[in-house]
Amino acid sequence: YARELIVDYGVKKLIRVGTAGSLNENVHVRELVLAQAAATNSNIIRNDWPQYDFPQIASFNLLDKAYHIAKNFGMTTHVGNVLSSDVFYSNYFEKNIELGKWGVKAVEMEAAALYYLAAQHQVDALAIMTISDSLVNPDEDTTAEERQNTFTDMMKVGLETLIAD
């Protein structure tokens, strides 16, 4: 859908808000993650660039604004790499946990593709996520109702970031 927003509607700034699972013991449920970059185990980039490891990075302008807005709101916010995976709970669970020890903040499913499309079409993109589950702290969890009714901080940050220009 991001491609259609860019190509058919001329959108120049895309902010994805959604949930993610923590891979890092210092990142807890209900906290925000701003994806500075997204590693991926998907072939979406390899289909176009088989000979390169093309880095998927956020727009610095959006990232910087979102970070300062979140901090001004007093929200616990982490900035760093995320893993965009084709599957949330993969057969490579232990490898994913190892990534958390290397500083990867969370696992999700969209940021790498979003950043790739943004680079391809020369538009700005940022992924803002609320941690809904922890793969490293299993005692931390959120209910479906909590996810539905309380994960609004990421939306506030996203909207404020877009109107900050």
Phi, psi (degrees; rounded to nearest 5) at 113: -65, -40
Selecting among 133, 139, 141, 165, the annotated active-site residue is: 133
Report how far residue 70's alpha carbon sits from residue 124's, in angstroms, rounded to the nearest whole number: 19
Check if 165 is active-site.
no
CA distances from 134 to 60, 131, 144, 155 (A): 27, 7, 15, 21
Q: Which two tokens stand for residue 5?
A: 């927003």
Report how far residue 142's alpha carbon sits from residue 146's, in angstroms, rounded to the nearest whole number: 6
How remote is the C-alpha of 137 from its chain's centroid? 19
Report how far residue 4's alpha carbon sits from residue 35's, in angstroms, rounded to the nearest whole number: 22
- Partners of 128 in beta bridges: 17, 34
Q: Which residues are catalytic?
A: 133
